[in-house]
Structure 1
Amino acid sequence: MASIAQKRIWITGASSGIGEALTYELSKRGCKLIISARNISALEGVKSNCTNPNDVYILPLDLADFSIMDIKSKEALKAFGGIDILINNAGISQRSLIIETDFDVYQKLMEINYLGTIALTKALLPHFTARQSGHFVCVTSLMGKFGSPLRSGYCGAKHALHGFFDVLRMEHDLDFIKVTLVCPGFIQTNIAKNALVGDGSAQKEEDSATQNGMPANVLAQKMIKAIEKEKFEVYIGGKEALAVYIKRFFPKLLHKIVLRSKVT
């Protein structure tokens, strides 16, 4: 098992939630970190709370702006003389019925959750291939393995990430590039509050499943172990993680369980 200590790591969506928790855990391990998000003041707050703030470089990034990925990647590479791991964590969720969801909402979900992540990954890929080393970590979701009402666009984007990164792993196996897909369940973050509703506005409300979910720092610790073990795919959460296996072997049963569930 390879230790993550001292690695140079770029984390997107680092201003809050899972990304923020990862930043703190990795800083404790002496990693040199590039942290990205749109909210610069929030990133500054995260940096100041790190164990080793001098080893944290703030790089503002909007995943919806595909045109800047090459420029941002070059800046990230200069920060610490290279990157060992990219953690694609940034994203946004959804809480709306298909029939009530504007098409623009689906477009935004795909642009941020899928296309922005792919654009950034492709910008950094030549660096990894040239070094014959590198590790892409993509935070998807259990919703990337099965569906759930009110999350059609979110599920679609997360499913797409699995398809892309599975192929990237295959195509660059001989380049010694690793890919780990992390599928969290319900985690205590602001994902539900920030989720898009049918007209594209934020839900602005918590849901009980998220509130009662796994603490973000616990998820971060489990993620780090999975990265060190170079796992292909890992499911992290409570009993909801069992749905991955039910979907695989008993898809009709999962359909009934989800429909009976009051989780929103």
Structure 2
Amino acid sequence: MTNKTIWLTGASSGIGEALAYHLSAQGAQLILSSRRVDELERVKSQCEGSPENIKILPLDLAQANSLQTATQQAIQLFGHIDILINNGGISQRSLTKDTDLSVYRKLMEVNYFGTIAITKYLLPHFAERKNGHFVVITSLVGKFGTPYRSGYSAAKHALHGFFDSLRAEVFNDNIKVSIICPGFIHTNVSINALTEKGDKLNQMDEAQANGMSPEECARQITKAIEKEKLEVYIGGKERFGVYLKRFLPGYFARMVRGVRVR
């Protein structure tokens, strides 16, 4: 990652924050984006390396009208971008029967439309340079759905469809696409998750609390980027759900009904 210019969304907490520290320690030039400027400043101050190699670009993935301008600003900060890590997003904890449509729309706007917007706006830059790497942090529930996460899972499934298609389209331009699917990582993702009315859950999932550290997750993500992996699964035993769903779908369907999700 030395001297690579990397634009990282969702950089103010969780996996994104851990990635910022890990990548800066490896000598990358970083563009850190999220909504909270004060938190971005905090993360920047704790990154290794020269402060000149770390820039802050506030960004709200839900504000579609601002994303094209933000992408051009990101390119101008260092003159080019080598890697975009689409990490920004928000989760959900609510039953389908109780969830307002507005919550589903917000989940899609942030997790899907915001992500593909900056990807699309950056694509001409990568194509012109005949080089670039799109990395998208989805989730294991982008491979299989579980209770309480219907909207979140749907948005992550959509990202898989988009980026699988994109990978095939841009291969001849030497542009890579990596899909990263974390499982339970010990972050505040469940605390910030949306409930049926769009409020924050303000509660840590037990599985999240016992999950992999964000530092180890960041290490594995970086390794996958370096090896230009197409798709990777990160976490504990929850990773086996991908293979159960693929090879034993009936068993998986019965098992997932009793999964403790909160």
State the TM-score, normalized to the length of structure 2.
Answer: 0.98
Q: 1:180 aligns with which of 175, 178, 192?
A: 178
Aligned AA (1:68): S
Alpha-carbon displacement from aligned partner over 1:44-94 (angstroms, at most 9, x marks no partner): 000000002331100000001111122111111111110000000000000
Matches of 1:199 and 1:263, distance apart in 2: 18
Counterpart amino acid of 1:106? Y
Aligned residue identity for 2:106 = K
Give me the whole-angstrom Cα distance separating, in 2, the residues matched to 1:5 and 1:251. Answer: 43
Partner of 2:12: 15
Q: Distance in 1 between matches of 2:133 and 2:256?
A: 34
1:103-152: CA deviations, max 9, x gaps? 00000000000000011101100000000100000000000000100000
Number of matched pairs? 261
The secondary structure found in structure 2 opposite 1:179 is strand
Q: What is residue 44 of structure 2 aligned with on the other side?
A: 47
**Correspondence for 1:27 among 16, 24, 27:** 24
Cα drift, residue 263 of structure 1: 3.2
Could you tell me how far apart the structure 2 residues matched to 1:257 and 1:22 are?
A: 33
Q: Tell me which residue corresponds to 1:192.
A: 190
Alignment RMSD: 0.7
2-side partners of 1:6 and 1:25: how far apart?
14
Alignment correspondent of 1:167: 165
- Residue 239 of structure 2 is matched in structure 1 by 241
- Take 2:260 and 2:35, find their aligned partners in 1: how far apart are those partners? 33
Q: Deviations over 1:164-217 (max 9, x none)?
A: 000000011101100000000000110000000000100001110000000001
Q: Which residue identity is paired with 1:47?
A: K
The DSSP-based 3-state class of the residue aligned with 1:90 is coil
For 1:136, which of 134, 137, 141 is the aligned residue? 134
Contact 2:4 2:82 in 1 (8 A): yes
Secondary structure of residue in 1 paired with 2:157 = helix
Q: Distance in 2 between matches of 1:243 and 1:159?
A: 15
Residue 5 of structure 1 corresponds to 2
Give the letter for the 1:86 counterpart: L
CA–CA separation in structure 2 for the residues paired with 1:99 and 1:257: 21
* In 2: Cα distance, 1:92 partner to 1:130 partner: 32
Mark the runs of 5 or more structure 1 residues left unpaired by the alignment: none
Could you list the runs of 4 or more consecutive aligned residues of structure 1 that deviate by over 4 angstroms after TM superposition? none
Trace 1:204-219 onto structure 2 (pairs within 5 A): 204-219=202-217
Is the contact made by 2:147 and 2:261 (CA closer than 8 Å) also made in structure 1? Answer: no
In structure 1, distance between residues paired with 2:111 and 2:222: 22
> One-letter code of the match for 1:93?
S
Distance 1:250 1:14 in 2: 37
Question: Which position in structure 2 is the counterpart of 1:261?
Answer: 259
1:5 Cα deviation from its structure 2 partner: 2.0
Residue 95 of structure 2 corresponds to which residue in structure 1?
97
- The residue that corresponds to 2:219 in the other structure is 221
Q: Distance in 2 between matches of 1:213 and 1:187?
A: 5
User: What secondary structure is seen at the aligned counterpart in 1 of 2:76?
Assistant: helix
Determine which of 113, 116, 123 is the counterpart of 2:114: 116
Corresponding position of 2:146:
148
Report the Cα offset of residue 257 of structure 1.
Answer: 1.6
